[in-house]
Amino acid sequence: MSAPVAAIDCGTNSIRLLIARRDEATGRLVDLERHLEMVRLGLGVDRTGRFDPVAVERTLDAARRYQALVEHHGVRREDVRFVATSATRDASNREDFISGIRAILGIDPEVISGQEEAELSYRGAVSTVEGLPAGPALVVDIGGGSTELVLGTTAPTHRISLDMGSVRLTERHLRSDPPAADEIAAATADIDALLDEAAEAIPLERVASLVGVAGTVTTVTAVATGIRDYRPDVTHGAALPVDEVRALCETLLRETREERARHQVIHPGRIDVIGAGALIWSRIVERVAAASGITETRTSEHDILDGMALDLLDHVP
C-alpha cells in the first residue's frame, strides 16, 4: 500500500474528506476515512456576494475535525489538498475563510476553476464505474452553486462549468413550499438557457453514457432504489431508466419539505434544496437523451474527492 493522502472538497452545501491509500496491485483507492458534513457555506452568497460569518464558522469547525483525522492517520502536510469550489469563487470576503483554513490545516486552500473541478470529477467518476458502453462518457457534477459537465473517453475532451446549483436556484427561485408554478418556470428557463451554452460547448450527440455524481444524483438514486438507510454500495454504479429518473425528479421538485423528509434516505441538510437539484438533473437527462438516444443514467459515488486523491497519489514518492 502507498502512503496515505487526504483530499478535502469544500463546496456550497457541504465539506467532505477522503483519506485514502492506493492498492499497488489493483491501482484502486482504498478508503481510510470518508466523511461529509452539511455546512451550507454558500448560504446567501448568490444574493449578497459574501460569506455569512456563522456559515464560515460552521465550516471551520468541520475542518478542525478533519484535521484531527488527518493527523491520526499520519498524512504528511504535503500530501493534503484542500479545494474550494463555487461559493468560494463567488464570495468577495473569501480571504477571511481562506486564512481560517490555512491556520487549521497549515496549507493554502485552492480556489479552483470550474474547468479543473470538472476534470477532477471526471477522473474520480469514470475510474470506478464498471460496465460503461464503449464511447464517450458525460460526467455531470451537480453542486450547490455550480454544475460541471465533462465529456471524454480515457481523458476529458470537452468540459464546461455552469453557474447553476441546488442552493443557488433554491435561493434565487424556489422559495415557496412547495415551489409555485411560476417559480418552477423561472428556474427551468434559467437551467435551459445554461444548457443551451453547454450544448454549444459539448457534442451531446456523441454521448454513449451519462454518469451523475455528487449529492443530488446519489440522493435521487437512493430514493429510486427504495432503500431506507443510505448505502453507497447500492447507489454506486446503479443504472436507472431515463423516464424513471425524470418522473422521480418531478415528484421531488413538487413535494413539500415535510413530504421530502419522509424519504428517510434524504440527508436533512438536502431536504430544502433537493427539489432544485432534481430539476437540474431532470433537464440535463432530458437534453442528453434527446441528443444522444441514451436510455439510462449511471450513478457514481466517486467524484472530485477521488480525482483529487488519485492526483495526489500520482505525486507521492
> pLDDT tens digits for 70-104?
999 999 999 999 998 756 666 778 788 889 999 99
Of 92 and 35, the structure prediction assigns the larger pLDDT to: 35
Domains 5-114 and 129-300 share a fold: yes
How crowded is the C-beta side of 20, counted as CA atoms within 13 Å? 27
* CATH no. for 5-114: 3.30.420.40
The number of angstroms, rounded, from the C-alpha of 307 to the middle of its chain's C-alpha atoms is 12
Q: Using the Cα atoms of residue 220, residue 225, residue 231 and residue 232 in order, give the sign of their dihedral.
A: negative
> Residue 253 pLDDT more than 90?
yes
Mean pLDDT of 160-186: 92
Residue-level pLDDT at 19:
95
pLDDT digits (tens, 9 = 90+) for 192-247: 999 999 999 999 999 999 999 988 999 999 999 888 888 888 888 899 999 999 99
Q: Could you tell me which of 35, 47, 103, 100 has the C-alpha nearest to residue 73?
A: 35
Percent of the chain predicted with pLDDT > 90: 52
In the CATH scheme, what is the homologous superfamily, with its name and number, of domain 129-300? Exopolyphosphatase. Domain 2 (3.30.420.150)
Dihedral sign for Cα 263, 264, 265, 266, please: positive
- How would DSSP label each residue in 271-312? TTTHHHHHHHHHHHHHHHHHHH---EEEEES--HHHHHHHHH
Task: Sketch the domain layout of the chain as residue ranges.
Answer: 5-114, 129-300
Is residue 316 predicted with pLDDT exceeding 70? no
Q: Compute the mean pLDDT over every residue in the chain, rounded to the nearest whole number.
A: 89
